[in-house]
Structure 1
Amino acid sequence: MSPTPSDLPWYARRRVPLAVLALLWNAVGALDFTMTQTRNASYLADFPPEMMAYIDGLPGWVHVAWGVGTWGGLIGALLMLIGRRAALWPYAASLAGSAAVFVQNHLLTQPPAGMGGTGPMLFSLLIVVLAGLQWVWARRGALAGWLR
């Protein structure tokens, strides 16, 4: 038996607007990844040369983790929007990828001036936290049955 709408937690009753927000958030990440990886000249025009040298010097696994993090989040948001429990797996991949990139960029290496410091680190941490919250959201939906 499916739960009635009044039995659902607020984040289940507001699944569609929250999924739209998640979709927009993750679309920005996927756009940034794609434009950076394809070297879109107009997108990268304001990037300092040091930032591009840093990105170019990252190990290949970081680029893969970055792609998995961004595209996993976008796919998870699309699946959440249509109410599919399958959103759990892309969101899990997004969390893993985002966490790996955070560790590489803020714990294992020293980013160039302007990319390091508290502000960029907190923004990167926000990305990981939001990926985690989206995964928890999908997991609760899958376990509670309000995602099919």
Structure 2
Amino acid sequence: MTDSATIKPPFWFWPTTIIALVWNAMGAMQYVGQAYMTDSFKAQYTAEELEIFTNLPAWYTAAFAFAVWGGVLGCIGLLLRRKWAKIAFLISLIGIIVQMLHNLFISDSSITYGPAVITMTIMIPFIGVLLLLLSKKAIAKGWIS
């Protein structure tokens, strides 16, 4: 029987994982800017938008942290070919779901930000699910161990 560590992933696995890492790193940069209200972050938004960020509950910020850092760790896990990537992506997806529930049902961010927030509200969980499925497939195919 072939050792799972010797089964090479297909070529597309590597660029997909690197693109996913960049995507999650951008989310992590957004998190850091938002959590610490950096000058570069504040320069991107109006006073009304910054007011929304300032008044976000702590549990939302925590969910944001789990979402982005789970995604970053999951991608690193895939690049290192480790099974724990799946757990990291699951944690990330839970954080994403909590965030999106807040965005859809608690806040009025869609009124403030317009249709762009709706696109991201759909795209972010979709990518989170795809990354979780990728990690499950990689485990099943023996690409990661």
SS of the residue corresponding to residue 146 of structure 1 reads: coil
Contact preservation (8 Å) 1:15, 1:81: no
**How many aligned positions are there?**
142
Q: What is aligned with 2:123? A: 126
Q: CA deviation at 1:108?
A: 2.4
In structure 2, how many angstroms separate the alpha carbons of the residues matched to 1:86 and 1:112?
35
Report the TM-score when normalising by structure 2. 0.88
SS of the residue corresponding to residue 97 of structure 1 reads: helix
5+ unaligned residues in a row in structure 2: which ranges? Answer: none
Q: What is aligned with 1:102? A: 100
Q: What is aligned with 2:141? A: 144
Which stretch shows the higher mean deviation, 138-147 or 87-96? 138-147
For 2:139, the aligned partner's letter is A
In structure 1, how many angstroms separate the alpha carbons of the residues matched to 2:107 and 2:33?
23
Which stretch shows the higher mean deviation, 118-127 or 104-113? 104-113
Contact preservation (8 Å) 2:85, 2:135: yes
Map Cα deviations across residues 102-140 of structure 1 (whole Å, 9 max, x no partner).
11012222127432x433112122011101100011012
Which residue of 34, 37, 47 corresponds with 2:35?
Answer: 37
Q: What is aligned with 2:82? A: 84
Which stretch shows the higher mean deviation, 132-141 or 12-21? 12-21
In structure 1, how many angstroms separate the alpha carbons of the residues matched to 2:3 and 2:122?
35
Q: CA deviation at 1:81?
A: 1.1
Map Cα deviations across residues 26-74 of structure 1 (whole Å, 9 max, x no partner).
0000001011111111232121111121122121111000010011101
For 2:75, the aligned partner's letter is A
Q: What is aligned with 1:27? A: 25
In structure 2, how many angstroms separate the alpha carbons of the residues matched to 1:147 and 1:112?
39
For 2:85, the aligned partner's letter is A
From the superposition, tell whether residues 109 and 43 of structure 1 become closer, same or farther in structure 2 (CA, over 3 Å). Answer: closer
Contact preservation (8 Å) 2:31, 2:65: yes
For 1:98, the aligned partner's letter is I
For 1:26, the aligned partner's letter is N
